[in-house]
């Protein structure tokens, strides 16, 4: 029947043909025992009857064909009228990879299929060009980075193409490497009640299960990263939970070769490559929710170091109001992000929650009448309704070049992942001054450090001063476990330090501290019996913030050029800004976190060098805490 014989490998059409022949063959022999029935060449019971039927069938087939040809001709005319190319898909070898680019339900709903996938082009066919089809074409073009050509087809072509879906297995998404099964994750995860359990259990499972158990345990303990490092004598396994690294287990070095091969296989990278860094990805589905794990391999002295970053959708679920920005600072930010132009900058070291804050701001601004475009490095989470793009150093699509092309797209709000150089800074400022709200991050220790940093890049003070709306400085502190935290007395030295910091709160900050009633809480660590924190004493994190919004005085100082971080902090404080440490201590007084935690985190500094890749290092040397066992 087909006009064109498929030349490539077995296409769906071939499979469909085979299945048709097979179906036709099975019911024929009635009493012959269908299991051992021969194929289509089975002898016919009575020849004359069959001949008559064949003649009749031939006639009706011919009639049907004429009808179909007429319909195809009509479709061709309609295509011409619509100005679209026309194609008859009868016999066209549609590959499963092409077809599966659109889920079946969607294809049926909008009457469109992808019938050909070339290196730089996708061909989409529809019986009904509509805004939905157009949206799909755009979506595919962006996602696959190809040109999408739309063709017009007849109802018959569509019907046949849709039938082909039955021949492909349900594909949710392309999954790299070897799949990790949800059932295995659950089975192995069940054996782990606290990260410390891993050491006992992991020695007794097969190598395949080791990797799965590791991921299962990490997911169960809400870890954000898994670190696997080959050391001189053994393999060290550590989890990062709420920003802090914990020793999870030590494995025998003998298993290293197999272990690293398994990890590379699962992550979909080259197994035989050991001397250059590689990046892979694992996608797992748990209760139908997709979780991605980004895996980075780095050569080290004793083998390799592997870091798996678990990208949890709930990280971006945080709403602006739930970030933990309070009082006056909250009102200021709320006001500044509603302005149609200017810049909102977040600062802090890597891992201080800057991106979460930016995403929360974008989500708050994300309404139908606002166009938001982001430029990220890399895109870690998909935000519904926001156009996200990613820098690509290999293609010379860097922040500066990307930002230029984004501005041609006429956005209202632009998010730039990070401002690292003068060129990007200047374009961002230009955008902020010409009717765009720009949100971005800059690598400095505090809000007050942002302005000196911009100036040291070479930004002109007279452009910077009117462009900035607000600068946010932030860190993340761990929340005390609400189930097992206890009231504590601070040692005299710490108490004195705390009092001094709180006494420095600006009079116009809106905060009043009653020094006669200072109460603080601490963590109970090592109490594995606590079901909420599994003995860690902390559960989850909250931000501590300082917000410096632009005032006439601050603007004047910037215009003067040459201004230090210290000077900026001093003016901001006079204007009523609460510092991060003060905000943290106020949160400690409420029992949200501990003083110890606030002081630990406040000391974190940005790295002296600009990290080119933040993928492998989330935070600058956090203190290690052993979970014991």
Angstrom CA distances, 133 to 115, 154, 347, 484, 566, stand at 14, 16, 42, 55, 57
| In the complex, least distance from residue 246 CB atom to Zn ion, rounded to whole angstroms | 15
- Report how far apart, in Å, the C-alpha atoms of 609 and of each of 345, 349, 444, 614 are: 20, 11, 11, 12
Nearer to Zn ion, 294 or 485 (CB): 485
Please state the closest distance from residue 240 (CB atom) to Zn ion, in A.
19
Q: Which is nearer to Zn ion, 343 or 536 (CB)?
A: 536
Least Å from the CB of residue 628 to Zn ion: 15
Give the range of 92-100, 145-153, 528-536, 541-549 binding Zn ion by CB under 5 A: 528-536
**In angstroms, what CA-CA distances link 604 with 537, 538, 615, 619, 622?**
21, 19, 18, 9, 8
Residue 224 C-beta: closest distance to Zn ion, Å: 19
Among 230, 429, 530, 572, binds Zn ion (CB under 5 A): 530
Q: Residue from 148, 308, 533, 581 that binds Zn ion (CB under 5 A)?
A: 533
- Nearer of residues 102 and 481 to Zn ion, judged by Cβ: 481
Q: Compute the least distance from the CB of residue 491 to Zn ion, in Å.
A: 23
Nearer to Zn ion, 442 or 588 (CB): 588
Spell out, one character per residue from 245 to 274, where the chain touches Zn ion: x when CB under 5 A holds, - when not: ------------------------------
CB of 483 to Zn ion, least distance (A): 4
CB of 428 to Zn ion, least distance (A): 43
Q: Which strand (E) or helix (H) includes residue 342? A: strand 342-347
- The candidate with the shortest Cα–Cα distance to 479, out of 540, 565, 390, is 540
Under 8 Å CB-to-CB from 170, ≥6 apart: which residues?
none
Q: With binding defined as CB under 5 A, does residue 532 bind Zn ion?
A: yes
The residue to which tokens 């492998």 are assigned: 616
* CB closer to Zn ion, 340 vs 482: 482
How many positions of this chain bind Zn ion (CB under 5 A)?
6
Closest approach, Cβ 530 to Zn ion, in A, equals 3
Applying CB under 5 A, which part among 68-76, 338-346, 367-375, 523-531 lies near Zn ion? 523-531
Count of all residues that appear for the chain in the document: 629
Alpha-carbon distance of 621 to 601, in angstroms, equals 11
- Give me the least distance between CB of 527 and Zn ion, in Å please: 7
Contacts of 40 (CB under 8 A, 6+ apart): 21, 24, 25
Looking only at residues 165 through 204 of this chain, which bind Zn ion when binding is defined by CB under 5 A? none
Nearer Cβ to Zn ion (502/524): 524
Backbone angles phi, psi at 628, to 5 degrees: 75, -125
List the structure tokens of 518.
């200072």
Alpha helices in 468-591 (DSSP H): 492-503, 552-559, 565-574, 580-589
Question: Which C-beta is closer to Zn ion: that of 351 or that of 537?
Answer: 537
Place of tokens 């939905």: 132
Residue ranges in 177-297 assigned as alpha helix (H): 182-190, 198-202, 207-220, 256-267
Nearer residue to Zn ion within complex by CB, 2 or 482: 482
Among residues 300 and 532, whose Cβ is nearest to Zn ion?
A: 532
Q: Are 530 and 471 in contact (CB under 8 A)?
A: no
For residue 601, the minimal CB distance to Zn ion (Å) is 20
- The closest alpha carbon to 571, from 453, 437, 471, belongs to 471
Contact pattern from residue 482 through residue 521 relative to Zn ion, giving x for each residue in contact according to CB under 5 A and a dash for the rest? -xx-------------------------------------
**CA 138 – CA 151 distance, rounded (Å):** 15
Nearer to Zn ion, 164 or 481 (CB): 481
CB 15 → Zn ion: shortest distance, Å? 56
| Shortest Å distance, C-beta 462 to Zn ion | 54
Site residues (CB under 5 A) for Zn ion, limited to 582-621: none
Measured distance CA(43)–CA(421) in Å, rounded? 80
Helix (H, G, I), strand (E, B) or coil at 111: coil
Using an 8 Å Cβ cutoff, are 8 and 95 in contact?
yes
**Residue 85: C-alpha distances to residues 81, 102, 123, 623 (Å):** 10, 21, 11, 64
Q: Report the site for Zn ion in 455-484 (rule: CB under 5 A).
A: 481, 483-484
For Zn ion, give the closer residue by CB, 123 or 534: 534
The DSSP call for residue 87 is -
Q: Which of 100, 194 has the CB closer to Zn ion?
A: 194
Tokens 């905060």, residue located: 511
Q: DSSP letter at 86?
A: B
Q: Could you give the string, one character per residue 424-453, with x where binding to Zn ion holds by CB under 5 A and - elsewhere?
A: ------------------------------
User: How many other CB atoms are there within 10 angstroms of residue 496's CB atom?
Assistant: 11
Q: Least distance to Zn ion from the beta carbon of 484, Å?
A: 3
Give residues with Cβ within 8 angstroms of 162, minimum separation 6. 104, 107, 108, 113
- Residue 481 or residue 554: which is nearer to Zn ion going by CB? 481
Binding site for Zn ion (CB under 5 A): 481, 483-484, 530, 532-533
């Amino acid at each position: 029947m087909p006009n064109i014989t498929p030349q490539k490998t077995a296409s769906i059409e071939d499979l469909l043909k085979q299945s048709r022949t097979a179906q036709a063959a099975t019911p024929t022999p009635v009493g012959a025992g269908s299991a051992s029935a021969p194929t289509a060449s089975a002898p016919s019971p009575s020849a004359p009857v069959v001949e008559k039927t064949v003649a009749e069938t031939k006639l009706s087939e011919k009639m049907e064909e004429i009808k179909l040809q007429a319909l195809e001709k009509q479709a061709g005319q309609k295509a011409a009228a619509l100005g679209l190319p026309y194609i008859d898909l009868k016999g066209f070898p549609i590959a499963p990879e092409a077809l599966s680019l659109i889920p079946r339900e969607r294809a049926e709903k909008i009457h469109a299929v992808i019938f050909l996938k070339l290196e730089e082009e996708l061909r989409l066919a529809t019986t009904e060009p509509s805004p939905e089809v157009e949206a799909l074409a755009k979506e595919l073009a962006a996602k696959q980075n190809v040109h999408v050509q739309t063709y017009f087809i007849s109802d018959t072509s569509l019907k046949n193409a849709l039938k082909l879906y039955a021949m492909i297995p349900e594909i949710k998404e392309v999954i790299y490497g070897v799949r990790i099964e949800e059932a295995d994750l659950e089975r192995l995860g069940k054996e782990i009640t606290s990260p410390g359990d891993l050491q006992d259990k992991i020695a007794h499972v097969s190598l395949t299960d080791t990797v799965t158990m590791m991921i299962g345990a990490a997911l169960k303990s809400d870890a954000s990263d898994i670190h696997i490092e080959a050391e001189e004598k053994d393999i060290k396994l550590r989890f990062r939970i709420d920003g802090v690294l914990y020793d999870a287990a030590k494995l025998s070095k003998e298993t290293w070769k197999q272990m690293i091969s398994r990890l590379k296989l699962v992550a979909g990278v080259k197994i035989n490559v050991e001397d250059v860094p590689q990046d892979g990805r694992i996608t797992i589905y748990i209760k139908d929710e997709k979780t991605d794990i980004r895996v980075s391999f780095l050569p080290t002295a004793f083998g390799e170091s592997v870091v798996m970053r678990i990208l949890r959708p709930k990280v971006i679920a945080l709403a602006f109001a739930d970030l933990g920005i309070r009082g006056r600072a909250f009102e200021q930010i709320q006001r500044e992000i509603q302005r149609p132009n200017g810049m909102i900058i977040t600062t802090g070291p890597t891992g201080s929650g800057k991106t979460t804050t930016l995403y929360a701001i974008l989500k708050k601004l994300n309404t139908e009448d606002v166009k938001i475009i982001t430029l990220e490095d890399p895109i870690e989470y998909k935000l519904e309704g926001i156009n996200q793009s990613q820098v690509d150093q290999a293609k010379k699509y860097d922040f500066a070049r990307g930002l230029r092309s984004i501005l041609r797209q006429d956005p209202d709000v632009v998010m730039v992942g990070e401002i690292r150089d003068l060129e990007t800074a200047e374009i961002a400022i230009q955008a902020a001054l010409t009717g765009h709200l720009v949100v971005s991050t800059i690598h400095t220790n505090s809000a007050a450090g942002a302005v000196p940093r911009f100036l040291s890049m070479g930004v002109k003070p007279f452009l910077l001063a009117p462009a900035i709306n607000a600068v946010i400085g932030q860190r993340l502190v761990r929340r005390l476990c609400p189930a097992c935290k206890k009231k504590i007395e601070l040692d005299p030295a710490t108490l004195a330090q705390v009092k001094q910091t709180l006494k420095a709160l600006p009079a116009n900050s809106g905060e009043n501290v009653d020094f006669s009633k200072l109460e603080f809480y601490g963590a109970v660590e090592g109490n594995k019996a606590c079901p909420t924190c599994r003995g860690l004493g902390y559960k989850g994190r909250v931000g501590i913030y300082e917000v410096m919004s632009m005032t006439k005085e601050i603007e004047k100082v910037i215009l003067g050029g040459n201004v230090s971080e210290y000077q900026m902090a001093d003016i901001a404080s006079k204007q009523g800004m609460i510092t991060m440490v003060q905000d943290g201590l106020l949160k400690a007084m409420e029992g949200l976190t501990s003083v110890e935690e606030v002081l630990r985190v406040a000391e974190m500094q940005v790295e002296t060098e600009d990290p080119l890749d933040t993928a492998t290092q989330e935070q600058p040397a956090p203190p290690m805490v052993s979970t014991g066992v």
